[in-house]
Chains A and B, each alone.
Chain A
Amino acid sequence: MRQAEVAIDQPVAPDRQFVTALARGLKILGCFHPARPSLTVTEIAAELGLPQPTAWRLCQTMLSLGYLTANHAGRLRPALAVLRLGYTTLSELPLAELARPYLQDLANTAGGAAGMAIRDGHDMRFVQRCESPSQLVLNLRIGSCVPVATSAMGWAYLAGLPEAEWDAASGSPVAWAAAKPAFRAALGEFMTEGFIINPGVLHPGYTTVAVPVLGNDGRPALTLNCGAAASVLSVDKLRSEVGPRLRVLAALIAASL
């Protein structure tokens, strides 16, 4: 089973294995959020573009199972039972563990390795690292560091910072001065695509794409990457497939911070 690239808003595909009723029911639960904690069936039907009787039957099912509650005015709210559908499983997992299946899937897709890092001084320290089996990858592990100035992880971090903070964050002036032109060139793509590609600056013949995950303060809280030997992973695939999926994962993780 291929992992989802888009979380909830993916259009329903004409797919015989796809269970539409289940998809619609789960999308109904996804309509509620803290700013809009209660909804009527009419509002739900309108938001999802469903016929009202269909929305009603799905809501009725979830009411009878205790996943929704209704007040006297017919406004629906998600009930605490919804927490059993995954929140309880995930809410105490560290971010690195939460992201692991997604990073592993990306590593397999790329034929390389994917990871998560936090800034530690002038380095990015890996807090998660997933490798696809039997591939030529950089020998980095959880706990390993790569320099802010020259790595994709570092570049993604810098890309999330105001320019005035770049020099202080990247440290080592010599390495940074050497890498800066390549970083600037890569930054253009980041501005439009949301991911940054490091074409062999850290290690010749190894190409990596990375994204920052912004915290609630708007600053990069951590970074994600996915890379592989240039002989295995073309820059085209990095651009068209791996980068966009990394960007979606970053948004998913940012929403859970």
Chain B
Amino acid sequence: MDDDDRPFVTALARGLEILGCFSASRPEISGTQLAALTGLPQPTVWRLCYTMVKLGFLVSVNGDKLRPGIPMLKLGRAALASIPLADAARIPMQKLADRFGAASGLGARDGSRMVFVQRCISEATLVMNLRVGARLPLLSSAVGWGLLAGLEPAEREALLAEHGPADPRWPAVQLSFQAAMADAARDGFILNIGVFHPGYNAVAVPLRGPDGSAAFGLTCAGSAATHSADFLRRQVAPVLLATAHDLEQLRSQIS
């Protein structure tokens, strides 16, 4: 199966599609299940998986199941490292988290998800156990709202139209989302009060790229018991906005 004379290499696309079937909630999948999930013929799936097992990108586990191999971690790290801001943001974000006994996240969009490319947490605080690489829903997370608040209305509406119908939580969060966008237009930040997770509150802002459009969402979040909406609005938001401004400056220097 050498696709050298085709412009689009189907075998590669299919192999990547197979790898994309695995997730933290579904880490081990059998060949038969992979065929069902991808709609590919079983012999094709077998050969693609055989190739990836040989290269170490998949490993056999529990006899008939497969799991991504350890080398996939390295590929992921390289993808995270390709965002220079993620590394540069660590110190300012840690300061932010420490100052408010909170967690701070920097996320970029991958389709309908926001991926944390940096995450800093102050010690011994009650926070969501999310790490770098965690994937949050674009339409209900604070980091997603922060990014969306920074987009032109037409671009935002296009993303809502694209991803809303497939997100089961969207109908329930739509009203709070619209209110948050109205807040952002006035204040420059959004609040996500228990929408992403009950008892968990966050403030978020967009982080603009050199072309002026939002490229990241930046959050500061904590338990509702310690981080009320009022506290986030009055105390945290001004510092978060200043941090975002600093990071935008930093970004223009490094990219």
**Which residues of chain A have a CB within 8 Å of any CB of chain B?**
1-4, 6-8, 10, 13, 15, 17-27, 29-30, 32-34, 37-38, 53-54, 57-58, 60-62, 64-67, 77-93, 98, 100-102, 104-105, 252-253, 255-256
Task: Kindly identify which residue among A6, A38, A65, A66 contacts B56, using a CB–CB cutoff of 8 Å.
Answer: A6
CA distance in complex: A46, B248 (Å): 36
Residues from chain A with a CB closer than 8 A to the CB of B57 are 26, 86
Whether B24 pairs with A8 at a CB distance below 8 angstroms is no
CA distance in complex: A62, B131 (Å): 26
CA distance in complex: A29, B27 (Å): 21
Residues from chain B with a CB closer than 8 A to the CB of A57 are 3-4, 6-9
A207 to chain B, nearest CB (A): 25
Whether B76 pairs with A86 at a CB distance below 8 angstroms is yes
A67 to chain B, nearest CB (A): 6
> What are 23 A-B residue pairs whose CB atoms fall within 8 Å in the complex?
A1-B50, A2-B53, A3-B56, A3-B60, A17-B46, A19-B47, A21-B3, A21-B11, A24-B12, A34-B78, A53-B4, A54-B4, A61-B12, A80-B109, A82-B76, A83-B133, A84-B110, A85-B76, A87-B76, A88-B135, A90-B73, A92-B24, A252-B56
Residue from the set B77, B79, B115 with the largest chain A CB neighbour count within 10 Å: B79
Residues from chain A with a CB closer than 8 A to the CB of B15 are 19, 22, 25-26
CA distance in complex: A102, B61 (Å): 8
A interface footprint on B60-83 (CB within 8 Å = 1, 0 otherwise): 111000011111111111111111
CA distance in complex: A57, B48 (Å): 19
A interface footprint on B19-38 (CB within 8 Å = 1, 0 otherwise): 11011100100000000000
Whether A7 pairs with B6 at a CB distance below 8 angstroms is no
Whether B68 pairs with A90 at a CB distance below 8 angstroms is yes
CA distance in complex: A89, B72 (Å): 9
B216 to chain A, nearest CB (A): 11
Whether A87 pairs with B4 at a CB distance below 8 angstroms is no
Residues from chain A with a CB closer than 8 A to the CB of B55 are 4, 7-8, 10, 23, 26-27
Whether A33 pairs with B115 at a CB distance below 8 angstroms is no
CA distance in complex: A93, B53 (Å): 20
Residues from chain B with a CB closer than 8 A to the CB of A90 are 27, 67-68, 70, 72-73
Residues from chain B with a CB closer than 8 A to the CB of A15 are 54
With A4-B55, A19-B47, A101-B61 known as contacts, the answer to whether A85 contacts B4 (CB < 8 A) is no
Could you list 20 further interchain pairs (A-B, Cβ under 8 angstroms) beyond the known A15-B54, A17-B46, A104-B61? A17-B51, A19-B15, A20-B1, A20-B2, A21-B11, A25-B12, A34-B78, A58-B12, A77-B82, A81-B79, A82-B78, A85-B16, A85-B72, A86-B69, A86-B75, A87-B73, A89-B67, A91-B132, A101-B62, A256-B74
Whether B82 pairs with A86 at a CB distance below 8 angstroms is no
CA distance in complex: A89, B25 (Å): 8
How many residues on B have C-beta within 8 angstroms of the other chain's C-beta atoms? 64
Whether B19 pairs with A85 at a CB distance below 8 angstroms is yes
Residues from chain A with a CB closer than 8 A to the CB of B102 are none
Whether A64 pairs with B8 at a CB distance below 8 angstroms is yes
Whether B56 pairs with A18 at a CB distance below 8 angstroms is no
B16 to chain A, nearest CB (A): 6
Task: Name the residue on A nearest B117 (C-beta).
Answer: A80
Task: Kindly identify which residue among B77, B115, B131 contacts A34, using a CB–CB cutoff of 8 Å.
Answer: B77
Taking chain A's interface residues, is the majority helix, strand, or loop, or is none over half, making it mixed? helix
CA distance in complex: A18, B74 (Å): 23
**Which residues of chain B have a CB within 8 Å of any CB of chain A?**
1-4, 6-9, 11-16, 19-20, 22-24, 27, 46-57, 59-62, 67-84, 108-111, 115, 117, 131-133, 135
With A17-B50, A104-B61 known as contacts, the answer to whether A61 contacts B75 (CB < 8 A) is no
Task: Kindly identify which residue among A18, A29, A54 contacts B75, using a CB–CB cutoff of 8 Å.
Answer: A29
Residues from chain B with a CB closer than 8 A to the CB of A105 are 59-60
Whether A37 pairs with B81 at a CB distance below 8 angstroms is yes
Task: Kindly identify which residue among A4, A24, A86, A253 contacts B54, using a CB–CB cutoff of 8 Å.
Answer: A4
CA distance in complex: A25, B16 (Å): 9
Residues from chain A with a CB closer than 8 A to the CB of B110 are 79-81, 83-84
B161 to chain A, nearest CB (A): 19
Residues from chain B with a CB closer than 8 A to the CB of A91 are 73, 76, 131-133
Residues from chain A with a CB closer than 8 A to the CB of B16 are 25, 62, 65, 67, 85
A55 to chain B, nearest CB (A): 11
Task: Name the residue on A nearest B74 (C-beta).
Answer: A255
Task: Name the residue on B nearest A105 (C-beta).
Answer: B60
Task: Name the residue on A nearest B65 (C-beta).
Answer: A101
Residues from chain A with a CB closer than 8 A to the CB of B53 are 1-4
CA distance in complex: A64, B64 (Å): 32
Whether B81 pairs with A1 at a CB distance below 8 angstroms is no
A122 to chain B, nearest CB (A): 30
CA distance in complex: A41, B143 (Å): 34
